[in-house]
Amino acid sequence: MLLITGFSSVVSAQTNKKANEDTEAWRYELEVAGTGVQGTYLLKVWSYSKKPNVAIEQAKKNAVHGVIFKGFAGDQGILGKPPLTTNSNLEQEKDQWFKEFFADGGKYMKFVSLSSDGAVAAEDRMKVGKQYKIGVLVSVNVALLRKDLEEAGIIKSLSAGF
């Protein structure tokens, strides 16, 4: 019994690790899902994992990661947004800071919430090979996120230098 529990927790940890590797390798897609309330972005995040639950949880991390480093394209009357950083090497330069920020249960959780309480529409759950591709609606509090990154000296504020 102990052996089975131990084995399953090892498998789960490996799945989480794989999901984190996918995030770092930019293996996720962001789609604009609407105009959020002031200071927020409403996004649909497509994440990959063998376990749907892991993909849903990873969607939050991917959303924050994407808003900081990747940006997203616009769609039907809503403008796409560029990433918060204009420095293309930021993730390497502040490697340690981002490791802690994006750690499981890390500070990134403060800036993101699932918009549909984790419910995934049937058309947003796809099987791609051995993995699931899951689309989850999330809301990212970009105003708070930007302020936090500015205060930590990770990105420059608009009034920096004046």
Partner 1 sequence: MKLQIMKIALLSLMILGATTLGFSQAKKPTLMVVPSDVWCNTNGYMQTYDDQGTKVKIPDYKRAFQENSDLLAVISKINGMMAERGFPLKNMESVIKTLESERAENAILTSKTGSGVSESPMDKLKKVAKADIIIQLTWDVLKTGPKKSVRFTLQGLDAYTDKEIATAGGTGNPSFSAETAVLLEEAVADKIDNFNVGLQRHFDDLFANGREIIIRIKKFDSWKNDLETEYGGKELNVIIEDWVRANTVKNRFSNSDATENMMLFEQVRIPLYDASGNATDARGFTRGLQKLLAAPPYSIANKLTVKGLGQAVIVLGEK
Q: Which residues bind partner 1 (CB under 8 A)?
A: 35-39, 74, 76-79, 81-82, 86, 142-143, 156-162
CB of 146 to partner 1, least distance (A): 8
- Report the nearest approach of partner 1 to the CB of residue 27 (Å): 25
Distance (Å, whole) CA 99 – CA 4: 31
> Considering the complex, what minimum distance in angstroms separates the CB of residue 130 from partner 1?
38
Nearer to partner 1, 79 or 103 (CB): 79
Query: 6 or 82, CB closer to partner 1?
Result: 82
Residue nearer to partner 1 on the CB measure, 25 or 37: 37
Q: Which two tokens stand for residue 155?
A: 């990105």
- Please give the Cα distance from 31 to 146 (Å, whole number): 20
* Residue placing its CB nearer to partner 1 in the complex, 19 or 67: 67
What minimum distance in Å lies between the beta carbon of 100 and partner 1? 26
3-state secondary structure of 130: coil
Between residues 83 and 106, which has the closer beta carbon with respect to partner 1? 83
Contacts 24+ apart (CB under 8 A), 27-31: 28/58, 28/59, 28/62, 28/65, 28/66, 30/62, 30/63, 30/66, 30/67, 30/70, 30/72, 31/72, 31/73, 31/75, 31/135
Give the shortest CB-108-to-partner 1 separation in angstroms: 19
Beta bridge partners of 135: 46
